[in-house]
Amino acid sequence: MRLTLLEAPAELIRLEEARRQCKMPSDPEIDRDLQNAIDAAVSYLDGYRGILGRCIVTQRWQLDVLPPAGRVRLSFPDVSEILVQSADGEDVPHRIEHHQTGAVICTRRGLPLRIIFTAGFGPPEAVPVAIKRAALMLVAHFFKNRGDGGAAAGIPAEVEALISPLRVWRV
């Protein structure tokens, strides 16, 4: 199985928002540190390796897989478009079962598949407020604790409380 990001999402948090959250002026050195904090916060929450177990802002993925028995569970919920092809680019007849933790693609037989899908809540303005707020709090946390050993304090409990109802647990 190989999962590849084809189209990266739009920015969840803009630099100006991070500046306001951290009460910092516009300065190239500060902006560089803020951008690193933004990237770390979004990476912590979003996508395949993110703690939420889902895509936040709409993004496009490709999954190349040889499914046993013709069934593939997509890695994310909130899937809006799915294209199922054989490895040589031919459309494959399929059926989609939607579940709370993600869609399952069912084909008649187990053959190598290329599945291209779009996942996420939509554009940045469609992201639930709790996720956006948690991301901003993480930016402030990572910015405040950059390189001084303070990161050992862990992720703020308020962030965990905000994201907990929106997490998707993989089994």
Question: pLDDT tens digit string along 54-102?
Answer: 999 999 999 999 887 788 888 888 898 999 998 888 998 889 998 877 8
For the chain, give the mean pLDDT.
Answer: 90
Residues 66, 46 share a domain? no
Residue 98, domain extent: 59-119
Is a pLDDT exceeding 70 seen at residue 149? no
The per-residue pLDDT for 89 is 87
More confident: 154 or 25 = 25
Q: What is the pTM of this model?
A: 0.86
Residues 148, 129 share a domain? yes
Residues 49, 6 share a domain? yes
Is a pLDDT exceeding 70 seen at residue 153? no
Classify residue 171: in a domain, yes or no. Answer: no
Residues 83, 71 share a domain? yes
Q: Which of these, 14, 23, 107, lies nearest to 57 by C-alpha position?
A: 14
Q: Indicate which CATH number applies to the domain containing 39.
A: 1.10.3230
Please tell me the distance from the alpha carbon of residue 110 to that of residue 71, in angstroms, as a whole number: 8
Classify residue 133: in a domain, yes or no. Answer: yes
Question: pLDDT tens digit string along 20-64?
Answer: 999 999 999 999 999 999 999 999 999 989 999 999 999 999 999
Residues 66, 48 share a domain? no
Residues 49, 127 share a domain? yes
Secondary-structure percent of the chain, ordered helix, strand, coil, rounded to 5: 35, 25, 40
Is a pLDDT exceeding 80 seen at residue 103? yes
Tally of structural domains, the chain: 2
Residues 71, 103 share a domain? yes
Q: Which of these, 122, 101, 106, 113, lies nearest to 167 by C-alpha position?
A: 101
Classify residue 101: in a domain, yes or no. Answer: yes
